[in-house]
């Protein structure tokens, strides 16, 4: 959604309305259409780096799936509920934009019902209105000309629930909430999930960081860079977000489209957890390998040391190195007979013997793939991989997950290091990138 087409966005919104209320008379559609066009046109003029049109659209669409899930599971929602819920989603960040209120004047921006003002300075972006954006949003709703039958107080109450951090008085307690309170809480959840499950969230983190920097939030939270914000993602999610979105996650999981949002959210949490691990233990591992390479004179010893350290780092039991051998028919990979085994048992010994007897040509099996492409690769489950010649044996001894990376010599790839787990594993791309760093370290020694 890098470029927002209002007609296409409205078409999606209308399709969701029709999905939820197939017998809708269309009575409320004009107010939704007018509100969406107003909101998106106004927000498109904002110079806030993160809270832009795309964010509003993502939050609104995420909210639709939450609403659909609640309708599926609870069945207690009306089209009028949907109208208020959707308007609140569309307008939840309207207060970020300067000069949208009649009382605003140049750099003086109205921040409360009693007429208090905040003076922007030259160079401020709209993000500087973050502390006031909810109250400004409520003022915008209060001043807007609504059709008969629309209760603007309900909309104002709903956008009030996008306040963050979430006050303890508003923690999700579905068993004690009225329907109106619960829907308002779900608006707040949609704001959080729409942000954190944004498919492009990772690359947008610098934008959010600069908004935090402008408002002083970065300093208050101890963020000195966008990387600090990125690293804090898992702890931020588990400590502040997760306790307050459980009900919305339940509703999202009630439909296939909703599950896409939870999958994206889980992916980001998993990815950033791995980044955090890499940035702590990974630096230490690179330092250890660098130091060992500097002192070692025997390349085989470096390979053996690396196998041991990577196995320990990944908590994987098997590490092995294949070595390039040049033949008349071309280069092949043959066992170097350098291993790391977490324990000596008959099954691992059988795997060792078979692997030492097996050679690979370019493109054959996991080692051959790495040799051919010159980059790390992984297999989630080798027993299900059609290009894994040792799959039958792997099934017998319980080997499943695998990854490998190359080590270069003077004439190209000299070794391929392979590692195995007894569980099926999906490796994050950041792990493979880190293995490339280890590869570079050893290659520099060579």
Residues 221 and 311 occupy one common structural domain: no
Q: Look at residue 1 and tell me if it is in a domain.
A: no
Residue 367 and residue 336 share a domain? yes
Q: Of 242, 275, 308, which residue constitutes the final position of a domain?
A: 275
Residues 326, 251, single domain; the answer is no
Give me the number of domains the chain comprises: 2
Residue 89 and residue 177 in one domain? yes
**Domain match, 30 and 170 both:** yes
For residues 240 and 337, membership in a common domain is answered with no
What CATH number has the domain bearing residue 114?
A: 1.10.1300.10
Q: What percent of the chain has pLDDT over 70?
A: 93
pLDDT tens, residue by residue, 68-120? 999 999 998 999 999 999 999 999 999 999 999 999 999 999 999 888 999 99
State the average pLDDT over residues 46-51.
95
What rounded mean pLDDT belongs to the chain?
Answer: 89
Q: Is residue 394 part of a domain?
A: yes
Same domain (yes/no): 265, 322: no
pLDDT > 90: percent of the chain: 61
261, 384: one domain: no
Asked whether residue 270 is assigned to any structural domain, the reply reads yes
DSSP calls for 371-417: HHH-S-EEES-GGG-TT-TTHHHHHHHT---EEEEEEEETTEEEEEE
Q: Please give the DSSP secondary-structure letter assigned to residue 316.
A: -
Residues 301 and 424 in one domain: yes
Note whether residue 40 is domain-resident.
yes
Do 81 and 150 fall into the same domain? yes
Flag whether 285 is in a domain.
Answer: no
Query: Quick one: 36 and 128 in the same domain?
Result: yes
Q: Does 133 share its domain with 103?
A: yes
In a domain, 290, yes or no: no
Q: Is residue 49 part of a domain?
A: yes
For 283-319, the pLDDT digits (tens) are 788 788 888 887 877 899 999 999 999 999 888 999 9
Q: How confident is the model at residue 1, as a pLDDT?
A: 39
Domain membership of residue 204 as a residue range: 6-275
286-317 CB burial, b ≥16 within 10 A, e <16: beebeebbeeeeebeebbbbbbebbbebbebb
Higher per-residue confidence, 345 vs 249: 249
Q: Is residue 282 part of a domain?
A: no
Each residue's pLDDT tens digit, 212-249:
999 988 877 777 888 888 877 776 787 778 888 999 99
pLDDT greater than 50 at residue 121: yes
Q: Which long-range contacts (CB under 8 A, 24 or more apart) does 306-309 make?
A: 306/417, 306/438, 306/442, 307/338, 307/339, 307/340, 307/417, 307/419, 308/340, 309/285
Q: What is the CATH number of the domain that holds 367?
A: 3.30.450.40
For residue 166, pLDDT beyond 70: yes
């Amino acid at each position: 959604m890098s470029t927002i087409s209002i007609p296409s966005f409205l078409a999606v919104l209308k399709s969701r309305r029709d999905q939820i209320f197939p017998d809708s008379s269309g009575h409320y559609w004009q107010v939704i259409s007018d509100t969406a066009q107003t909101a998106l046109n106004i927000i498109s003029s904002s110079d806030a780096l993160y809270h832009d049109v795309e964010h509003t659209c993502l939050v609104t669409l995420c909210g639709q799936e939450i609403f659909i899930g609640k309708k599926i599971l609870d069945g207690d929602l009306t089209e009028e509920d949907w109208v208020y819920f959707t308007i609140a989603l569309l307008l939840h960040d309207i207060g970020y934009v300067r000069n949208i209120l009649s009382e605003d004047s140049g750099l003086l921006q109205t921040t409360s019902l009693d007429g208090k003002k905040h003076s922007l300075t030259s160079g401020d972006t709209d993000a500087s209105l973050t502390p006031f954006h909810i109250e400004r949003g409520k003022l915008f709703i209060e001043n807007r000309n609504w059709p008969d039958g629309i209760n603007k107080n309900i909309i104002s109450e709903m956008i009030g629930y996008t306040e963050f951090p979430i006050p303890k008085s508003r923690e999700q307690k579905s068993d004690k909430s009225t329907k109106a309170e619960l829907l308002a809480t779900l608006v707040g959840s949609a704001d959080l999930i729409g942000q954190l499950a944004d498919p492009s969230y990772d690359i947008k983190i610098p934008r959010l960081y600069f908004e935090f920097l402008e408002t002083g939030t970065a300093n208050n939270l101890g963020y000195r860079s966008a990387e600090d914000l990125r690293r804090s993602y898992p702890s931020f999610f588990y400590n502040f977000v997760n306790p307050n979105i459980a009900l919305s996650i339940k509703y999202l999981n009630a439909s296939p489209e909703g599950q896409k949002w939870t999958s994206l959210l889980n992916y980001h949490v998993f990815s950033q957890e791995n980044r955090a691990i890499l940035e702590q233990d990974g630096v230490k591992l690179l330092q250890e390998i660098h130091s060992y390479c500097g002192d070692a004179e025997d390349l085989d010893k470096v390979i053996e040391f690396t196998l041991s350290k990577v196995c320990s780092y990944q908590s994987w039991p098997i590490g092995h190195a294949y070595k390039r051998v040049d033949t008349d028919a071309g280069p092949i990979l043959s066992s170097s007979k350098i291993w790391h085994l977490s324990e000596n048992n008959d099954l691992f010994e059988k795997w060792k013997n078979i692997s030492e007897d097996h050679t690979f040509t370019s493109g054959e099996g996991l080692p051959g793939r790495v040799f051919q492409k010159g980059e790390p690769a992984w297999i989630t489950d080798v027993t299900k991989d059609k290009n894994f010649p040792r799959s039958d044996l792997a099934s017998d001894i319980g080997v499943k997950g695998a990854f490998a990376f190359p080590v270069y010599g003077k004439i190209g790839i000299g070794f391929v290091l392979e590692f195995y787990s007894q569980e099926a594993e999906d490796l994050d791309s950041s792990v493979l990138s880190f293995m490339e760093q280890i590869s570079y370290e050893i290659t520099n020694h060579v």
